């Protein structure tokens, strides 16, 4: 049997990783400025993470949600404490797409409606409901079509208000900072308008923080830069540093009923151990503050490179926008300088999502390597 060939891969086979570096089977070191799609939050192979999982492996690895498990409750309490959402509830699952699916279910249970508003360029996952609100017909199969979904332009408050005024919208879904569709930071004005209009028209405000959450932008959640408070918040990627975990933070006014949601593996002992270790490291090593500080320095260094047209994003979730296609630049970074970066739906954008543990020397190393492969002396208006 062969693997179902749906992934375009780099010609690299990784053998091990440590901190913000990964190493291939030939022992060559690569600077990781992508973190496996923003998954690696506390750095590769963190000692506390390994110790937590090892300890749990020796105790109990799995039982279903039919029994109590103390650490699962402790994860919810710690997440509430660090994120500022102490009064919210947590549903644990296994991935970002599952988090979105369950958030949409909770929203629909809450108000009895089914029309969803999402935004152009948005990406929310590849499962049925999640892909139906993703602005990419290429990854939607016929079975995914038919849902009541309206895709709007971002920042168009008038159009949003007109859409919600009919009173039939279940939920409005937006990424805290857009990732796959090209880095875009929603304005404070727009996020506040979503919050106010959802309250006015009894729709649920869902913020997708799957990529932008867990400290990546210099606050626990990206939407906190705007001072808004969604009804539902979806999380995943950086939540467990590589262990498959997702979750939904749920407003206290939303009341649970037995059986309305469910999962076989969500919140299992190993997943909970991974989650708790990440939260503890984020707090103890002040990685959210580090993301803000080092992210600011990284952005300043990038903005000084003439070939880069603009730098967008917050903290350690940045997009480098060039005039032309970046494929050759990215290939050179991998093959010549041994640096891993990410792409987006925009052919002229490089996406940076490094571990939150990166420091100034790592940034200086990255900038030096980037300067070797980008055109020099290109006068670009900033």
Cα separation, 326 vs 339, in Å, equals 14
Within a domain: 210: yes
Same domain, 279 and 290: no
Same domain, 54 and 192: yes
Position 382 scores a pLDDT of: 43
Sign, CA torsion 281/339/180/144: negative
Low-confidence ranges of the chain (pLDDT < 70): 377-382
Same domain, 107 and 241: yes
Average pLDDT score, the chain: 95
Cα separation, 66 vs 236, in Å, equals 23
Quote the pTM value. 0.95
Measured CA angle at 288 (ends 307, 346), to 5 deg: 35
Same domain, 252 and 303: no
Where residue 357 sits, what CATH number does that domain have?
3.90.1150.10
Same domain, 89 and 186: yes
Measured CA angle at 69 (ends 125, 279), to 5 deg: 55
Among 284, 309, 339, the domain boundary falls at: 284
Q: What share of the chain is helix, strand, coil (3-state, %, to 5)?
A: 35, 20, 45
Position 381 scores a pLDDT of: 43
Position 380 scores a pLDDT of: 44
Same domain, 213 and 146: yes
The 3-state DSSP class for residue 231 equals coil
Domain count, the chain: 2
Among 284, 308, 340, the domain boundary falls at: 284
Same domain, 82 and 204: yes
**What is the number of other CB atoms lying within 10 angstroms of the CB of residue 19?**
17
What residues contact residue 160 under an 8 Å CB cut-off, 6+ apart? 117, 152, 172, 193, 194, 197
Within a domain: 57: yes
Q: Where are the alpha helices (DSSP H) in the chain?
A: 35-38, 47-57, 70-83, 96-111, 128-132, 157-164, 188-200, 269-284, 287-303, 327-335, 360-373
Within a domain: 33: no
Cα separation, 302 vs 144, in Å, equals 40
Cα separation, 111 vs 98, in Å, equals 20
Cβ proximity of 314 and 178 under 8 Å: no
Cα separation, 345 vs 224, in Å, equals 25
* Residue range(s) defining the domain that contains residue 72: 47-284
Q: Are strands 339-340 and 169-175 parallel, antiparallel or unpaired?
A: unpaired
Number of H helices, E strands in the chain: 11, 15
Position 379 scores a pLDDT of: 43
Among 284, 317, 346, the domain boundary falls at: 284
Same domain, 309 and 339: yes
DSSP state of 375: P
Where residue 225 sits, what CATH number does that domain have?
3.40.640.10
Position 136 scores a pLDDT of: 87
What residues contact residue 225 under an 8 Å CB cut-off, 6+ apart? 185, 188, 217, 218, 219, 314
Same domain, 244 and 358: no
Mind listing the pLDDT tens digit for each residue in 118-132? 999 998 988 888 888
Within a domain: 38: no
Provide the terminal-to-terminal Cα distance of the chain, rounded to the nearest Å.
Answer: 52
The structure tokens listed for 129 are 């409901």
Starting at the edge strand that comes first in sequence, how are the strands of the sheet with 310-314 ordered? 310-314, 317-321, 349-352, 342-343
């Amino acid at each position: 049997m062969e693997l179902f060939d749906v992934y375009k891969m780099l010609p690299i086979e990784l053998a091990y990783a440590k901190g913000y570096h990964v190493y291939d089977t030939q022992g060559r070191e690569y600077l990781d400025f992508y973190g496996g799609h923003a998954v690696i939050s506390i750095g590769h192979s963190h000692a506390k993470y390994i110790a937590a999982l090892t300890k749990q492996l020796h105790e109990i690895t799995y039982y279903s949600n039919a029994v109590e498990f103390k650490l699962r409750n402790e994860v919810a309490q710690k997440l509430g404490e660090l994120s500022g959402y102490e009064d919210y509830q947590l549903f644990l699952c296994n991935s970002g797409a599952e988090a979105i699916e369950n958030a949409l279910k909770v929203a629909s249970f809450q108000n009895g409606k089914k029309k969803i508003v999402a935004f152009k360029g948005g990406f929310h996952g590849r499962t049925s409901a999640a892909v139906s609100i993703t602005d990419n017909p290429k990854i939607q199969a016929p079975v995914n079509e038919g849902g009541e979904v309206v895709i709007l332009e971002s920042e168009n408050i008038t159009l949003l208000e007109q859409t919600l005024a009919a009173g039939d919208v279940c939920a409005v879904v937006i990424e805290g900072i857009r990732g796959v569709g090209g880095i875009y930071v929603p304005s404070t004005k727009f996020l506040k308008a979503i919050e106010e209009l959802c309250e006015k028209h009894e729709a649920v405000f869902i913020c997708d923080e799957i990529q932008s959450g867990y400290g990546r932008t210099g606050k626990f959640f990206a939407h906190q830069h705007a001072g808004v408070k969604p009804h539902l918040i979806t999380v995943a990627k950086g939540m467990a540093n590589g262990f498959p975990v997702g979750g939904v933070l749920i407003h206290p006014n939303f009341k649970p009923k037995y059986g309305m949601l469910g999962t076989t593996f969500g919140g299992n002992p190993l997943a909970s151990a991974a989650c708790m270790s990440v939260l503890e490291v984020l707090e103890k090593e002040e990685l959210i503050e580090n993301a803000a500080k080092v992210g600011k320095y990284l952005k300043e260094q990038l903005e000084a490179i003439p070939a880069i047209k603009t730098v967008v994003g917050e903290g350690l979730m940045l997009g480098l926008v060039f005039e032309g296609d970046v494929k050759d630049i990215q290939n050179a970074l991998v093959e010549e300088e041994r640096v891993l970066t990410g792409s987006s739906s925009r052919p002229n954008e490089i996406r940076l999502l490094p571990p939150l543990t990166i420091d100034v020397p790592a940034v200086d190393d990255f900038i030096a390597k980037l300067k070797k492969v980008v055109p020099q002396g290109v006068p670009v208006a900033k």
